[in-house]
Structure 1
């Protein structure tokens, strides 16, 4: 495994480097090559009969950067008169060190005495000029000892001004299984050639998104080049993913730009279409005018929106809108009982129709409608008193009333009440991020809450906001309440100590003087500073009462850790001073050692990565609640979560969990798991980088550990369980999995060449790794066989296809390898993966089967 120092580099703006700097617009310098690395300006060595002695490089040797920045106004990709970019601020950075300068009158800049290494450059040009990145490494500048790297930075107009891309699907709706053809139309709006326009499709976390199939290889890796003024349409055909059937729609969401991994000013192309699944729940809605309890052709009502709600989780499961025939199809609904809610000016004629039962096979129902006034929720708010002192606890009554003709579903606050410190449990399901409540027609409900004042405005406490409910057509539910606030004042006192012996209490000699204390808050939102005295004490006298956040800057590398979420809060009242005792500790990076290792050098997208983490307590005291803080820059090709909760596979190290306890001197090894994210295919790498500390959400000073592995593209994998489906329900039930069964992967059902084999483990699981994409057939070596098409295997690009292998007893136990391969040697015999991938590719091509071999691609 290799570490990745690039994780610490934040790319602020795009940039490019060139081989030579131009000294003067009127001179004739060598033509810069923007895709090449910066080169040294040292003269070539003079031929000699004796070899020159090697240069002496001391440990303190440094290097320089000389460059020129220009705006390519005529787009000819070279600097001409009048194109110099003066007075532009720029920065180069490496390993946390930043160096800044400003370009001179001719756009020239220099950096001297730089430590050797690879530097990232950032240019702050006036919009909309951008220095694009050309190289796959972002055009990092290599600084070598006693040499000068030459850089030409060419700024140009945003890509969104240079070309356009539109996308359209061949149909407005699809029925699964289906294939979609996306037509991409490119148009070059410039008088210059634009090369290598590549696609970066945003399907991270979207199972219904296109842009990941084999047909996209050329657009993702090679790109499209457009001649000046050229307009070209490119069709891309892709199998619609299964997730689109569950979501009810398929979408394309891709950005196009040269080197889109680094340049974010490209053109977005989007398209969307409806998708119906072969396994769904259907409903036909209409007005039963002849009262025959069914919907005849002339009774169907189109444009009616119906949502299915889970009565237990109280969340929305699916939704649909009736077509011209009154038909609504709900996709991806699991078997169970749901409540159907009709939105808008229609409602069910019988309340009993609200209950919907979906079986494993789906289902169907008629929805008999009647006209109804939509739900209409109004709100009003009232304080318990007309005037409060700023330290008092305030009472608030928020009353909501449904004045419409139908039940309002999922009624909730639209934005929290932030001017009061109200405990979330007082709002219950009415809170913004909760499921909401039901409010029947004519029903009224009052929420009585209380909390201390957090914020005032010109001597007033103002509560205002809106409500939200399902099917809300317009905002009519605003509320507002105002009360006068009389400011009161109080004191804050405290003491800061450095816990040198780590016993959690202040002992003689541990007072922390010269600590900068910063406090912000209060009813009037003040900002205060103080410095601790020789005894570590500080005081804020006569400050506005209310809530304060206090931070501490302790000399000597000591830190005041946040022990709880969201950190320490101090409330000030006039009756008595608020006193705080603050414990400073050494950084967790000095208390804990951490290592982290991925279980493989190479993965595929979707494959489960196992990460072995070793934490060691190097102190003489117990450390509780150690969590992992991963992927701080939220890169989509990294493990540890991008946004929202951390993946479940991180167990007790998740920020949402209790954390890991380490007794003095203890070393503990933890294995966590997470699928390799889709976005890793673009970088062809997956990385994991985390710091480890108690309360890792707020404490970022823990030891840092990281690892990186390659990601194979152009291949696929298959994983599933071998089972005898005794009850024919299509599910591997207890007792049906088969262990120790040898499963073969063949190139053809009847006369196929064996590609790989594996044995099912104790729970029947088999896996084929790193298989060329395409259609294959599974065979069984033993007293089992497949019926019909059950052995068909579709290996998809960069995906781990999940499927189960249902078998039946074979009439005779002749190994499939002997039947199909004519006794020839198998391409690979494996435990649980394909070996000798290069050989497989060659042989498959020789036998007429397409295959793409992918090997390790590693950079250090």
Structure 2
């Protein structure tokens, strides 16, 4: 290569290098330019892009070398093109002002919040918050709503119904409006259930077409008291035997079960019993709100109408050391109830006729009696709603004359998915509608078989060694067989033995339906009124129910054999009529009078309280 050719190559390389340098400078400068594109930085305007740099003419061998252009020697500055809307930075106040002037009829919400009361508050105690919302814009604010977020500390929870209208029903738009210039204060309430220090939360209000949605938040801090274990709850339970409304000598109820709930550890449920004078005491409690309840089976059949009270503030001051609870005689002392299904074809969603019989055993008329049906809310309920209860509907109320019985015929519908469960049931209680309590009311429960599907289910039996009400640890029983028995025919449908880590027994290819548990050994079910549901597993099924048993001396009940008979036809199920009006029970062979379903996936535990009229 000649010297001239070498110089030519060197010059071309220099030009290429200069172009690369210009490109790098331009890219870096463009990346680093400020938010406001109207005032670009000097380097961005003082350099040319590679596309704007003239390509030098190829020199001849006699040409004088030409040095490449540097950034300082470029042509007239070129203003960068305007950014696309997608690249536009956040609006500045000046731009917002221009937009507001262009569209003056837009709302602009602002919020402030204050905690009512000085605190510190107890864990579990309701805390009131005043949230003040102002529409400082020129237009009406529509679909106004609010929500909160936790910033730090204890989690503060506000239920939807406690937002004072700032949160619409789930899935529905807000109907709340604020006129231009209007200020409104909303009264919220919430609480924390676990202590993690003071709670700091942020509230945000929203509306459609807000001019500035970035000024819609406000923060508050709520002080909570550390739940140290120095609290006490004590009191007395008494039965008003003479009906004078005051506790007299000898009216204290001894031996009643009392329990607390709502503590920091869900596995701990303090329990005790009343002494000879009806008194009870709990000590060493966390300083927080507690709930207190009484067992259903109070001595002598007495009932506490509310049965439990929540939000007892245990603050260490001794204010919870003289609580008083009055027990009354149950309404079922005077009023008994029964139900029966009239014969028919029981199919999914099909019609069915029920007869309720109410008997007044007292010396005075009982008025305003209504039926409360399906309170458990789960399972294949017979549809008695939509005004089908007639005189027993909540909007009306029936009178049962002293010493008389009345029969109420109700046209209802079998549950639309009853065949998936193998049955459809009715569970109702009866009492005056103005009292708002059901404890001690007479109640009924009955069911009919629907369909002929088959399924599998599994579950365990256990002894509750620690008394917390559920199976944990090694409380399950392995090696003990138990059977699923048809509650109406007493026929054994299947028998299996618990084994494995959870003492689980498996029952395969059985008819869908309700079953009671019979243990084949020195145990018996603690609550024989508890049934399990074996539902259709072809759609969805999660088994694993647990039934509590207690030791007894010698074998409990019959010794069923592990045979699985065919499905019992509906026609072979015993009628629920007969002596029901005299006994107050709803199923003659079972004495069942109330119901509550606890679902466990595809299987469930079905509770039906056994009572006498």
TM-score range, shorter chain: 0.3 to 0.5
TM-score by length of 1: 0.31
Q: Which structure's residues are more often strand, by fraction? A: 1
Q: Which structure's residues are more often helix, by fraction? A: 2
Greater relative contact order, per chain length (Cα 8 Å cut-off, separation 6+): 2
TM-score by length of 2: 0.41
The higher radius of gyration belongs to: 2
